[in-house]
Amino acid sequence: MILDTSFILDLWADQPDAVAKARQIDARGEPIYIPTPVLYELWEGVARSERPRAEAAKVTDFAGGHELPPFSETDAREAGLLSGQLSRSGEMMGTVDVQIAGMAKARAQTLLATDRRFRDLADAIRIEKYP
């Protein structure tokens, strides 16, 4: 299971739906991955934060407990193809989000995301939504 930034932020905010979903995933024993583009977004949040030290510690601690797959050539191919597919249909998605979706597709992983933009790719990747 690949976690999107939106889910991680909700989890850190102790949103009940996110906490319940995390417990559900943990109970299934499913491996959890934080792709490097998500890590990028988390570090961008650190730079924007009014409490960068505390946020940096949170990112470091969370990342340290999970596998961090890097964005590979195969991921780039899948992300580029997804982006082109969206463009042809008149849809747009941010580069980082397309990279995350490409990683999920390339690795045959389910993407856990609250971001509604990922729903445009529901035919191409597996998405687990919450709430």
Q: Which domains does the chain have, with CATH numbers?
A: 2-128 (3.40.50.1010)
In whole angstroms, give the CA distance from residue 120 to residue 98: 11
In whole angstroms, give the CA distance from residue 122 to residue 102: 12
pTM of the entire predicted model: 0.93
Spatial strand order in the sheet of 127-128: 2-3, 111-112, 127-128
In whole numbers, what is the pLDDT of the chain averaged over residues?
95
Task: List pLDDT tens digits, range 67-125.
Answer: 999 999 999 999 999 999 999 999 999 999 999 999 999 999 999 998 788 888 989 99
Q: How do the residues of the chain divide into helix, strand and coil, expressed in percent and rounded to 5? A: 60, 5, 30
The DSSP code for 94 is -
